Amino acid sequence: MIFVVIVNTKYAVENSYSAQDFQYDLNYATYSSALIGDKNDPFLISSFIDSSSIGLNLLVTKDRKVLIKNPPAFFPMPDSFYTNISDFSVHPYGSFSDFFTVTDTLGYTSASLSKNIREMSWGQWVGEDGRAHGADLFETSDGARYYIVNSTPFREEGYFDFLSRGFLVGLLAIVMFIGLIYNYVRLRLRPIQLMKKRLLALEKGDLESKIKIMGTDELAELSISFNRLISEIKDLINQKHRLLLDVSHELKSPLARMVFLVEMISPENKQTKELKEEIGFLNDMISNLLLTDKLDVPYSQLQLEKISQLDFFNKVVGFFNQDQQQKIHIKTTLPESSVLNIDLTKMIICVKNIVQNAFKYADSEKGINILISLSEKTYKIQIQDFGPGIKDEDKKHVFESFYRASISKKVSGFGLGLAISKKIIEGHKGKITLKENEGFSGCVFILELPVFLGDKDDKQKKYQ
């Protein structure tokens, strides 16, 4: 591309100046030919050149003889070298153009040579050192040939010399052009960049900020529509939350009254325990439905806080009765003072759901093992039971909402516990997997969290 620009520039410059140069050359040659044709005296012309002091040299030949060498030092070759005009490959003078070519180019179709001038041309004179000089030839009607040669040789400049001179100019022009285009396109696409940043913020739960409106074009209109869409999403989510809260309140209020009434029934009544269990089941179902709905919203944010590993698992174990607590065995390879950076409430629910399922569907004398370790900057929690395990056809569905494995249908439940745990782990940028309990019956749920881990007072140790 640079090559093309330089060549085109050279062509334009040459074309813009060629007509003007031709006119100057024609004017000079016309004056010179008029002087030579009128006087036709070599010695007079030589005196004139000497008096001009403009660095010109004169060679005059006639009838195969050299009449004047002015100065002789500029024409050091034998006279025969200059008078042999039959061999153009040897003679130092070479013509570029003649009188009639130039006048035709300039549009002077009726122009004619000066008096007593038979030929007039422009060309170059190759000196003894091989360098070329500008030269003019005037041939009179009596056969005298006047060679007027410039003392200063042409500056040697080939085609690629021109390219080397024009390279930086061409390169600079292209760089400036590309820079202008880049800045223009960047400015025009700025609203799209703002939209991209806004989408990333939306993904992280930001429903408040707006896209800055730039200009009045189609992209500005799109930005306005985008802001309006986010506001409508926020309103719909809030309306949905309010609806669910109202519905849950209407459902839980009767349940609370039922609990109060059941407490008033005589303890001797055999149905009291069953009623309490059913009321608790309904209350848990409503709570879990509300929680899974909140976790389904992609704009919900975690309320992260730092808590020691020991305090966290003590809170989880505290949700179970004394007999169940005796069956929970926690083993860790990390210091008890190690710190987790988590949403405490959600993570308690996550681990509690898995442990609760283990007691409901896989309770055994061996209890439940909770193994804690650090692997490749990932905090890993393995919850291991020794129950009957999960069938292969059920494994790929256990984390789906409302899915219940065939073995679990004999126990009351509604299939939301593991689905909620999975959403909580993914909200922490972690993952949850299920595998067989190698060497034993039962299952192992593996929770992996890329979270803060270190001494409780150490704010610098992070594993991201």
Residue 341 in domain? yes
Beta strands in 127-197 (DSSP E): 132-140, 145-153
Residue 456 in domain? no
**pLDDT digit string (tens) for 81-97?**
888 877 767 789 888 88
- What is the model's pLDDT at position 11? 52
- What is the model's pLDDT at position 370? 93
Final residue before a domain boundary, out of 246, 278, 301: 301
Q: For residue 420, give Cα distances in angstroms to 241, 290, 400, 405.
A: 17, 11, 9, 16
Phi, psi for 120 (deg, rounded to 5)? -145, 130
Q: For residue 104, give Cα distances in angstroms to 99, 101, 115.
A: 9, 5, 20
Confidence of residue 458 (pLDDT cuts 50, 70, 90): very low
- What is the model's pLDDT at position 409? 56
pLDDT at 195 over 90: no
Same domain for 319 and 273?
no
The whole-angstrom separation of Cα 65 and Cα 264 is 148
Mean pLDDT of 24-39: 78
Final residue before a domain boundary, out of 286, 301, 316: 301
Same domain for 370 and 280?
no
Same domain for 114 and 17?
yes
Same domain for 143 and 198?
no
Residue 463 in domain? no
**pLDDT digit string (tens) for 391-419?**
888 888 888 877 777 666 566 666 778 88
Residue 462 in domain? no
Confidence of residue 181 (pLDDT cuts 50, 70, 90): very high
Same domain for 106 and 168?
no
**pLDDT digit string (tens) for 196-206?**
888 888 777 77
> Contact, 302 vs 343, CB < 8 A?
yes
Most confidently predicted of 12-21, 27-36, 416-425:
416-425
pLDDT at 346 over 50: yes
**pLDDT digit string (tens) for 355-400?**
988 888 888 888 999 999 987 778 999 999 988 888 888 888 888 8
Using the 8-state DSSP alphabet, how is residue 430 labeled? -
The whole-angstrom separation of Cα 364 and Cα 171 is 80
Q: Which two structure tokens, joined as six digits, stand for 114?
A: 């000066």
pLDDT at 451 over 70: no
Mean pLDDT of 220-240: 83
Residue 429 in domain? yes
Using the 8-state DSSP alphabet, how is residue 73 labeled? G
- What is the model's pLDDT at position 462? 35
Confidence of residue 459 (pLDDT cuts 50, 70, 90): very low
pTM for the whole thing? Answer: 0.48
Residues whose CB is less than 8 angstroms from the CB of residue 453 and which lie 6 or more positions away in sequence, other chains included? 334, 338, 339, 340, 341, 374, 379, 461, 462, 463
Comparing 317 with 460, the larger pLDDT belongs to 317
**Would you call 123 helix, strand, or coil by DSSP?**
strand
The whole-angstrom separation of Cα 272 and Cα 267 is 7
Final residue before a domain boundary, out of 301, 334, 368: 301
| Mean confidence (pLDDT) of the chain | 79
Comparing 448 with 391, the larger pLDDT belongs to 448
Sheet of strand 328-332: strand arrangement: 328-332, 368-375, 378-384, 443-449, 431-436
Same domain for 392 and 287?
no
pLDDT at 229 over 80: yes
Which structural domain range is residue 7 located in? 2-156
H, E, C per residue of 46-67: HHHHHHHCCCEEEEEEECCEEE
- What is the model's pLDDT at position 37? 75
Same domain for 172 and 261?
yes
Residue 454 in domain? no
Residues written for the chain: 464
- What is the model's pLDDT at position 293? 63
Q: Which two structure tokens, joined as six digits, stand for 115?
A: 């008096």
**Would you call 459 helix, strand, or coil by DSSP?**
coil
Find, among 431, 439, 317, the residue nearest to 375 by Cα.
431
Same domain for 152 and 258?
no
pLDDT at 66 over 80: yes
Q: In a 10 Å sphere around its CB, with 0-12 CB exposed, 13-18 middle and 19+ buried, how is residue 131 labelled?
A: middle
Domain containing 217 — which CATH number? 1.10.287.130
Same domain for 203 and 330?
no
> Contact, 338 vs 455, CB < 8 A?
yes
Q: Please, how many CA atoms are within 13 Å of residue 185, restricted to the half-sphere of its CB?
A: 6
Residue 460 in domain? no
Same domain for 10 and 133?
yes
Residue 93 in domain? yes
Domain containing 402 — which CATH number? 3.30.565.10
Most confidently predicted of 16-20, 42-46, 295-299:
42-46
Into how many domains does the chain fold? 3
Same domain for 7 and 132?
yes
Same domain for 383 and 433?
yes
Q: Which two structure tokens, joined as six digits, stand for 145?
A: 């040939």
The whole-angstrom separation of Cα 364 and Cα 78 is 125
> Contact, 12 vs 4, CB < 8 A?
no
